[in-house]
Structure 1
Amino acid sequence: MNARGTPRLRGALAVMAAVALLFTLSAALAPERAVAAPVLVSQGKPATASSAEGPFTAPNAVDGNPATRWSSQFTDDQWIRIDLGTSTAVGQVVLNWEAAYA
């Protein structure tokens, strides 16, 4: 065998290099997959709660304004209900607690 290898080996290496280049280029040129922005399905929907502390009523929980909030009375078994209007798939629920209780 000479220093450059056999023709068969060189051919196999050339094919492997071409395949590797093809995969690299296809990955680099592939369009980015679009990721849908999260949808706030509760925003503006009717909200009711078991109680409210002062001005912190249930509709504040779904008004889209992070400066407002719902706060219940300071007793156990408090709840909030958001009527989405129709059966809706929910992939995530995010709760933002008031700073004093976070």
Structure 2
Amino acid sequence: MGIELELRIPQSTTRRSHRHGDSLALALETLVPAGQGRLSRIDPYRDTRFTEQDAQAALREVTALADKCTSPFQEAALLDLAEFLEACARTPGSSLWFLGD
């Protein structure tokens, strides 16, 4: 089970990351409380779309999770996610897709 990231910006190139797919899925599964916040809406088996507003809210959640990481792999996955969330949040019309297995 892995989650790939895809940042879609209208009239621009699409940015993708699959480097931390398995670690990201595991971090979200173990660190994010079920039913709480935007990150809990990510489905590891289906595609999930975040708007700019979702990304802004989730960015605060990722920052809070950094202290809870139990491995350097989780930390790297969350840092990668934070970069994508930040880019989405600051780019009007963009969306961040979480591509589940």
- Give the TM-score, by structure 1 length: 0.30
Whichever structure has more strand as a proportion of its residues is 2
- Give the TM-score, by structure 2 length: 0.30
Higher relative contact order, chain-length normalized (CA < 8 Å, sep 6+): 2
